[in-house]
Every structure is written in C-alpha cells, then in structure tokens.
A and B are shown apart, each in its own frame.
Chain A
Amino acid sequence: MSLVDRLSEAKRTGNYQGLLDAVPYSRLLGLTAAIDGGELITTMRYADHLIGNPALPALHGGSLGALLESAAIFELLWRAETIVLPKTITITIDYLRSGGPVDTHARGIVTRHGRRVANVRVEAWQADRTMPVATAHAIFLVKPEAAASS
C-alpha cells in the first residue's frame, strides 16, 4: 500500500498508526499518535538510542526536532481536506529545557493553511505540559506540483 493510500485509509478510519508504522523513521523514533480531548498528540516513546548527551542524560536535539516536525505534519494531515503529503520548506526549533529519559509528547497547531503553503507551530513536553522541552514553527508546501526545484 502506498503512503498516499495509507493516508486515505487513516483519514477514513481516524486511526493514523498504520501511516506512522509505514514510515521507517517514525518506527525508529518510536512514534505513536492518538486523539486525546480533541487534540492530536504525537508521542515519542523513550528509548536509549534517542539520547544525545548520556552525562545528563538528555534527548538528542535531532530526535526532538524530528518529533516536532512529525507532529506538525500529522496535524496538517488530520486537519486538511486534501490528501497531499506536506513538504517541509523550513523549520525553526527552540530548545527550552533538557529532555529527560522519558516519553515526549508533541502537538501542532496550524496557524495558517493557505492554498500552497501552511504554517504550523508545535510544542513538545514530557511530564508537565506547562514546561515544554522544545517548541518549533514550520512552513510546508501543501499543494502538489508546486514543489520548486526538487
């Protein structure tokens, strides 16, 4: 089943796990997604290989960045009417606090969904949602055939 087919299936059933499991990097990061209180929450299950600084220990900035980017994409897929895989143009991540060796959650909010471009801001937290470990904002191309020089 192609990724786009899995996406259609996910939108039809409301269950995105099949889509996540189809993406190897999502599997590596141990991502799961679930609707909780009307919000789509992406969770990165803790695993030793996600640690960047073993002295603390602290999550690798790259794992957090990938979680944030993934959460932003899932929010877009969940909210959008069209079946198109968004293409990341740019993402800026603010690292706020060290991420400890526990599960990390993230939620994206679409600030603008235009015809060609969508803006999403994302927050990632661990035990306390009021103390995020990282935030990001990302801009995506959401219209097919609009991708410039790929």
Chain B
Amino acid sequence: MEVVEISRSNAVFRLKYDEKLVGNPDTGVLHGGAITALLDACSGAAVFAALSEWGPIATLDLRIDYLRAAEPGRDVLAHATCYRVARQVAFTRAVAYLDDEADPIASSAGTFMLQTKPGGRK
C-alpha cells in the first residue's frame, strides 16, 4: 500500500497488485479483506489530513459495499474524504477503483474517534 496524494481532508492510496493478496486463486481476484484494509487506511489518512490538531484516532466503524470484482492483475486505488470533523468524531467516505472514481469497485463510509487515550481503547 502506498500514499499517492494527501491534501486537505483527502487521501489517495494505491494498493499494488500482489499475488499474496488474492482471494480466489482460480481467478486471481483480490480478497475483499485487502480492499477493506486499503479503505480503512486511506480513510484514516483523510481524517489526519482534515485535522488541524493531530492526536491519536481510532476507527469506530466502517461499512464497505462491494460493487464489483477488481480485475485481476491491476493495482487498486482508493480516494477517501473526511467530510466532517466534529469535536470527538470524524466522518469519512471513500471509494476503491481501478481507473475511474466514478466507476468504483467498492464504496465505504467510516467514523473515527478523535483524541483517543494513549494505550488504545479497552
């Protein structure tokens, strides 16, 4: 996974195609979990991009809709936007796509807790 771009409230990540990430060895299609990981990381980065003051954050929930299978062999891009930062919670939307954001392979919505305590949530 690599960062392509981070700008105000937005993050773009690239997941390079790797055989280790395959879900179905017969087709070579990436596992949904790899897309989940990509969207989670990219959304978290978008939250950081939107914060004026950095502190620890933690994902509260993440919903992922799988729209269509990713063509095997291709890198997957994700673009996340943090569209609202409240006092304690931040809200994100993201899409995973191959070539065109308007034709995504997956779509997600996430919420993140801000200023979580050191040591994580217990």
Contacts and interface: CB of A to CB of B under 8 A. Distances in A.
Interface of A: 2-4, 22-29, 52-53, 55-56, 58, 60-63, 65-67, 69-70, 85, 87-98, 149-150
A22 B69 contact: no
B89 interface: no
Contact of B68 (A26, A96, A98, A149): A149
B16 interface: no
B25 A66 contact: no
A29 B31 CA distance: 11
Contact of B24 (A23, A63, A66, A150): A23
A94 B113 CA distance: 12
B121 A98 contact: yes
Contacts of A69: 32-33, 36
B37 A63 contact: yes
B77 to A, nearest CB: 16
A65 B36 contact: yes
B73 interface: no
A88 B32 contact: yes
B36 A62 contact: yes
